[in-house]
């Protein structure tokens, strides 16, 4: 049981670190916006088309208030669709969110 928990923590850590690298890529905010508004993840259904919030929290000003790591940790633990994202996709989405 301990090794399963340790493995889970390791996998989440690697995912967050990988996504952080992609989130630092300033050229992928446009791709992040596409993913955010796209039908694959449908982020906008809970967070609003402009990130204003709704059923889910607002993302307005998130880039000024939280680091990339903080955003990634919250997303990976609290937002069910992130389990469908690969690190490059979630990194792009986080980069877009930081522009709101």
Its domain, for residue 57, covers 2-97
pLDDT at 17: 53
Distances (CA, A) of 60 to 3, 47, 64, 81: 39, 10, 9, 20
Written as one string, the DSSP assignment of 25-80 is -GGGHHHHHHHHHSTTT-THHHH-TTS--SSSPP-TTHHHHS-HHHHHHHHHHH-G
The total number of structural domains in the chain stands at 1
CATH number of residue 80's parent domain:
1.10.760
Q: What digits encode the pLDDT tens for the residues 26-43?
A: 678 899 999 999 998 899
Is residue 77 predicted with pLDDT exceeding 90?
A: no
């Amino acid at each position: 049981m301990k090794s399963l928990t340790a493995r889970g923590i390791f996998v989440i850590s690697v995912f967050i670190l990988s996504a952080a690298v992609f989130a630092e890529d300033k050229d992928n905010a446009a791709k992040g916006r596409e993913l955010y508004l796209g039908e694959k993840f449908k982020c906008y259904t809970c967070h609003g088309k402009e990130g204003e919030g709704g059923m889910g929290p607002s993302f307005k000003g998130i880039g000024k208030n939280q680091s990339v790591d903080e955003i990634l940790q919250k997303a990976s633990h609290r937002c069910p669709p992130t389990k469908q994202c690969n690190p490059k996709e979630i990194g792009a989405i986080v980069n877009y969110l930081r522009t709101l």
